[in-house]
């Protein structure tokens, strides 16, 4: 059974849970979505989604629960949105725990603080998507094995390395399942 976990330490957990459940209906696999609060639950997952929130707090909780070690040692694909992008990075503009899944340097709050949050139609994976940016990070630099999925003006807002995906914005706050489906396809490559 394909299991997609939603990290349940902070952020838009219920929204990711709902849209991932909806996205999985477009696949014929026997599948489920679970909330991940500890290393045992993480170990059951074929892929994990890390949503927005406060990346420093989430990073410390990942270490405290041991979920970080499960993700890294078991090479579980991760879809990081907003703070999840920061946590997926190898380097940020602030010292904090990181998963080092994608060879990139991320700047936190690259578009400004809460009051500068915005929505904008973006191009990603060859289609238009409504990007919701809330205290959003952006990628300053990427390693040579990192594929850039999307840019907004001069900022990189979507990347992929191996089966790990990171984006600056919040797809879980839309009704559009395409990015979650894209992640599920990446997870399926690992389990087939």
Domain of residue 155, residue span: 2-191
Q: Is 172 noted as a catalytic residue in this protein?
A: yes
Do the annotations mark residue 108 as ligand-binding?
Answer: yes
- CATH number at 57 reads 3.40.50.880
| Three-class secondary structure of residue 180 per DSSP | helix
Rg (CA), the chain: 15
Express each pLDDT in 83-120 by its tens digit. Answer: 999 999 999 999 999 999 999 999 999 998 888 899 99
Express each pLDDT in 152-191 by its tens digit. Answer: 999 999 999 999 999 999 999 999 999 999 999 999 999 8
Contact 138, 107 (CB under 8 A): yes
The C-alpha angle 163, 165, 170, rounded to 5 degrees, equals 150
Express each pLDDT in 123-155 by its tens digit. Answer: 999 999 999 999 999 999 999 999 999 999 999
For 164, the enclosing helix (H) or strand (E) is strand 164-167
| Three-class secondary structure of residue 96 per DSSP | coil
* Active-site entry in 41, 82, 181, 186: 82
Say how far apart CA 163 and CA 76 lie, in whole Å.
Answer: 9
Do the annotations mark residue 135 as ligand-binding?
Answer: yes
| Three-class secondary structure of residue 32 per DSSP | strand
* Active-site entry in 41, 170, 180, 186: 170
Mean pLDDT, rounded, of the chain: 96
Express each pLDDT in 44-64 by its tens digit. Answer: 999 999 998 899 999 999 999
Do the annotations mark residue 151 as ligand-binding?
Answer: no
* Active-site entry in 172, 180, 181, 186: 172
Do the annotations mark residue 55 as ligand-binding?
Answer: yes
pTM over 0.85: yes
pLDDT of residue 28: 85
Residue in 90, 88, 98, 107 with CA at minimum distance from that of residue 163: 88
Report the number of distinct structural domains present in the chain.
Answer: 1
Q: Is 175 noted as a catalytic residue in this protein?
A: no
């Amino acid at each position: 059974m394909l299991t997609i976990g939603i990290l349940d330490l902070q952020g838009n957990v219920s929204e990711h849970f709902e849209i991932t459940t909806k996205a999985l209906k477009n696949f014929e696999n026997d599948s489920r979505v679970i909330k991940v609060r500890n290393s045992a639950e993480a170990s059951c997952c074929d892929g994990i989604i890390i949503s927005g929130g406060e990346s420093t707090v989430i990073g410390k909780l990942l270490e405290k629960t041991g979920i970080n070690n499960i993700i890294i040692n078991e090479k579980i694909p991760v879809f990081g949105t907003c703070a999840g992008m920061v946590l997926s990075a190898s380097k940020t503009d602030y010292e904090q725990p990181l998963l080092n899944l994608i060879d990139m340097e991320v700047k936190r709050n690259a578009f400004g603080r809460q009051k500068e949050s915005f929505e904008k139609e973006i191009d990603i994976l060859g289609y238009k998507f409504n990007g919701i940016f809330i205290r959003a990070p952006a990628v300053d630099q990427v390693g040579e094995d990192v594929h850039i999925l999307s840019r907004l003006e001069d900022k990189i807002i979507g990347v992929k390395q191996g089966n790990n995906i990171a984006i600056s914005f919040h797809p879980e706050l839309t009704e559009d399942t395409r990015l979650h489906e894209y992640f599920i396809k990446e997870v399926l490559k690992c389990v087939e």
